[in-house]
Every structure is written in C-alpha cells, then in structure tokens.
Amino acid sequence: MKIVIAGAGKVGFTVAQRLCRDGHDITLIDTRRELLESASNAMDVMGVCGSCAAPSILREAEIDEADVFIAATGNDEANLVSSQFARKMGAKHTVARLREQDYMDDIESLQRFMGLSLVINPDYVTAQEISRALQFPSATQIDSFPDCELEIVTFRIPEGSRLDGAPLIDLPKLLKQKALICAVERGGNVRIPDGSFVLRAGDSISVTAPPKALRSFYKDTEVNQRAVRNVLILGGSRIAVYLTQMLGSTGVKVTIIENDRERGNQLAELLQYADVDCGDGTDTMVLARNSLQNADGFVALTNYDEDNIILSIYAKKQGIEKVVSKINNEKFTDLLRDLFPDTTLSPKNLVADRIAGYVTGIAHASDSSTIEALYNLGNDVVATEFVVGAKSACIGKTLAELRLKPGILLAAVVRDGKSFLPDGKTALAPGDRAVIVTAGRQIFSLDEILA
C-alpha cells in the first residue's frame, strides 16, 4: 500500500518504522529537512520537505495515489487541514492525530465533517492504558478490544495460587468464573496451551474474559486484584489531566505534583476534585509531603525518562503497590521491565500500534474477514480481532469440527455486542468478531487459522 505520513517527529517516525517493516511504500512530509534525512538513513522512505497543509506539497507526495494519509504532526490544526485536503485530492483513507480536548468532545461529528477515517489522541490513549493498569495491580499488560467488553490481562502466577499445579482441563471445576488462558510463557518459551497443560507458579499467563469475569478470576485464584484507591501522579501533562478525570469518576483519590507553578494553578482550577502541589517531584521531601508512603499507586509522567525511571524505582522501594511509568526510549523500557515487573508505557508506541493495526486491517480486508484490532502480547504472541465475512470458510462449522493449525487459538467471540468464550459447540456466523491468538506467527485472514 502507498502511505503518506505528515510529520517525521517521534510519532510519525515510529509509525513509519512499523509500516515499513510490513512492506508498505512510505512517503514522509515534514518542514524539517534534517528529520527527513535521518528517517531516510534509517529506513526505506521517500521524503518531501514542506508544509503538509499546502496542496502543492501533497501533490509532490503523490497524495492522489495514496491508500492512506496519516497526519501525525504536533499541530492539531495542520493535521485537520492536511487530512481534509488529502481526502479531497484522492487519498482513500485519512488518519489524524489530535491532542486538544476541544476537538475530542464530539469526535464522531468531527470525523463525519472532516471525512476522517480514524482519529487518535496519544494522551487519551495513554491515560486509558494507565487507568486499566491501575485496575489490575498485578498485571504486566492489559489489552482491551474496542467496542466490546473483552480484555486480555497478562500476569505471573504467584506462589500459593490455586493455579499452581492445576491442569487447564480442571479449571472449570476449580474456578467459579469462566476465563480462558490463551498463552503461557515459561522460561522464555511461549506456547498456546491445551487442556493437558499444567500451570506452575512463576508462569506468565495471558487470560481473556469480560472485565467483571476477570476480576472474579483474580479473586478465585488468589491473585492481587484490588484496584488502587490513592494515586500520586508526577507531572501535570495532558495525560495527567485525562487520567485524573478517569480516576476521579471512579472515586480514586488523586494527587498531582507539578513543578511549574503556572501549570499547577491551571490544573488546580481544572481538576478541583484532585490535590495539586506545585513542587519538585524529584525531591524526596516533596514526595513525603504528599504522602507517598500512603499511596497504593504511583504514576511518573514527566518529560524526562531518567527521572521517571529513578522515581519509579524509589516508589517501588517505598512499598507502592502499583507503579506506572511513561518511557519514550525503548532501551529504558526494557531496563525498567527487568528491574521490576510493573508497567511501562510509551505514547508513541501506543499510537503506532493502533495506526499500524488499522492499516493492516485495510490492507488485508477481504470477503472472508477484516482485521478490526491487533495486539502484541509479547514474545511473538499476537491477538487479532477479525470481523467474520460472508465468504469465510469458518462459517457454519462448530469449533470441534474445524481443524486449526498448531499454535492457534480461538480465544473469544463477540456477537451482537456481547462477548463470550467459545466451546466445542460454537460456530462462527457472518458479522461475528473472532479474537484469534497466535504464537510464533502473524495471520492476516481468518481462514488462515485452518489447517
């Protein structure tokens, strides 16, 4: 596919990297020639220097031949204007990165009026991920599929859990809630387990079920599932605003530490139900003043990865139950994950994942299926949500009758907006959403699951 990306900054560069790896033809637009040269040296992309809001620059980028136009500059207005021009000039699909709250208040009307195929807000998406992480303190990763009540949570089985030593075939008798263990990592090896697989303490397992069932699963298996109730946020960014609003709506007490006094005053006026302290969050005395020792959740959202890492380690040593850090440098992300199994998030990677998944869905749409969402669960395990097409070879046969390739699992089905875990009697129908988990391979069509 031919894809034109406006903006060669952190987000645009990361999106281009993901799409280049998938073999797409990428053209980058940016006013900064040095960024285009850096991108061209790092990957196989074309560069056009100029404003993405100028029709002449879009023509130079051959926008009339583009399958997808992605506006990922740091300016919302430029993204909106360039997306509208791109659509009128022939781009088949347009994606815009928007950050301002005013634009997000009525996103559906904005999409219709501007002809946008997809709108993504990095700050809001990151806040959503952090909010989910705080709901499941022991989880190392949480993935939530759009437009349906279905989540995949990854966590390690603790010592003393009822899961330790349990064969998967016995779980329905052992537990009250129905949940599906769709992937297990042990000793660096990942597998899609069958009924004879025996779980052990220390295994990292990915479990799928609706959110309510997942909480009950945590309780039944003696895994810590208590959502945090007292959160300390370091840094008053847009992410902090969205996160505070999300947490405040559920009754969570939030304290924000912001070093800039003017920004702190803005936050205090905007978020009157939160405590805002204007101080240096890297100072342990300021942390103590804000009762770090009494918090059960700590979120580091400064613009400096090094500060976020150091303070996350410090908060963990103070006994904080759940620590979440915003990290942009992937080398630091790996380091922090090795130090302790809490959550690290990168806004640019979250956005790149969403956009890459959307583009993948467009590229591989067919009469048999389309890709609705795609999530990397780690260690070459991928969960892909397909919409079942009218001509899929999977229709009309029960799961017991279908012969699936090794390393593939039908993890969940969404029908008429309701999610359920399939059994041997489940048969897919046109319009269903089927969540497929694969290990060691990526599939792009639902029919690829068949042996």
Distance CA 226, CA 136 (A): 7
Cβ–Cβ < 8 Å for 238, 99:
yes
- pLDDT at residue number 338: 59
Distance CA 365, CA 387 (A): 10
- pLDDT at residue number 132: 82
- pLDDT at residue number 335: 66
Burial class from Cβ neighbours inside 10 Å (0-12, 13-18, 19+) for residue 288 reads exposed
SS (H, E, C) the chain: CEEEEECCCHHHHHHHHHHHHCCCEEEEEECCHHHHHHHHHHCCCEEEECCCCCHHHHHHCCHHHCCEEEECCCCHHHHHHHHHHHHHCCCCEEEEECCCHHHHCCHHHHHHHHCCCEEECHHHHHHHHHHHHHHCCCEEEEEECCCCCCEEEEEECCCCCCCCCCEHHHHHHHCCCCCEEEEEEECCEEECCCCCCECCCCCEEEEEECHHHHHHHHHHCCCCCCCCCEEEEECCCHHHHHHHHHHHCCCCEEEEEECCHHHHHHHHHHCCCCEEEECCCCCHHHHHHCCHHHCCEEEECCCCHHHHHHHHHHHHHCCCCEEEEECCCHHHHHHHHHHCCCEEECHHHHHHHHHHHHHHHHHCCCCCEEEEEEEEEECCEEEEEEEECCCCCCECCECCCCCECCCEEEEEEEECCEEECCCCCCEECCCCEEEEEEECCCCCCHHHHEC
Dihedral of the alpha carbons of 103, 105, 110, 116, in degrees to the nearest 10: 80
- pLDDT at residue number 237: 93
**Phi, psi angles (nearest 5°) of residue 351:** -65, -45
CB burial of 379-400 (b: ≥16 within 10 Å; e: otherwise) equals eebbbbbbbbbeebebbeeebe
Query: Which residue, chain included where needed, has tokens 């999409």?
Result: 111
Burial class from Cβ neighbours inside 10 Å (0-12, 13-18, 19+) for residue 302 reads buried
Query: Which residue, chain included where needed, has tokens 């993204």?
Result: 79
Half-sphere exposure of 13 (CA within 13 A, CB side): 15
- pLDDT at residue number 275: 94
SS (H, E, C) 348-370: HHHHHHHHHHHHHHHHCCCCCEE
Cβ–Cβ < 8 Å for 161, 138:
no
* Token representation of residue 200: 């052990």
Distances, alpha carbon 182 to alpha carbons 116, 171, 254, 437, 438, in Å: 35, 13, 35, 7, 9
pTM of the model: 0.81
Distance CA 85, CA 70 (A): 12
* Token representation of residue 161: 């859990």
Q: Which domains are assigned to the chain?
A: 2-120 (3.40.50.720), 230-345 (3.40.50.720), 360-449 (3.30.70.1450)
Q: What is the pLDDT along the chain (451 residues), one digit of tens a residue?
A: 999 999 999 899 999 998 998 889 999 999 999 999 999 999 999 999 999 999 999 999 999 999 999 999 999 999 999 999 999 999 999 999 998 877 777 777 888 888 888 899 999 989 988 988 887 777 777 777 666 667 788 888 888 788 888 888 888 777 766 778 888 888 878 888 888 889 998 888 888 877 777 777 776 765 655 668 899 999 999 999 999 999 988 889 999 999 999 999 999 999 988 999 999 988 989 998 988 888 989 999 999 988 988 898 899 888 888 889 898 877 776 666 656 555 778 888 888 888 888 888 888 877 888 888 777 776 678 888 888 988 898 888 898 888 888 888 888 888 887 888 888 888 898 988 888 888 877 888 889 888 8
